[in-house]
Amino acid sequence: MKTKKGFNLRTICGENIIVGEGIENIDFSRIISMNESAAYLWSHIKDTDFDEDTLVNLLLDEYEVDDATARDDVHTLIQKWLEAGIIE
């Protein structure tokens, strides 16, 4: 998988927001907000190839979480990112 070009993480008023840049990525019908751990993952995989294991390992390295919880969270997060159209 890879993040789609033109989507960048910004911190606006203390909130982590994915901003679509470029005419092809502008969709004002929704705002993509990320919590701290999702923003951490995004910042580490932006513009690189990644898979679920990559994200799980990043979570395990940064947070005190067990493998099963990290895997469940990553699976859910990837589904949300796919639905939002910010990864491919």
pTM of this prediction exceeds 0.85: yes
Residue with tokens 């859910």: 76
pLDDT at 74: 98
pLDDT digits (tens, 9 = 90+) for 37-73: 999 999 999 999 999 999 999 999 999 999 999 999 9
Average pLDDT estimate for 73-88? 94
State the Cα torsion 41-82-53-61 to the nearest 10°.
20
Report how far residue 32's alpha carbon sits from residue 84's, in angstroms, rounded to the nearest whole number. Answer: 8
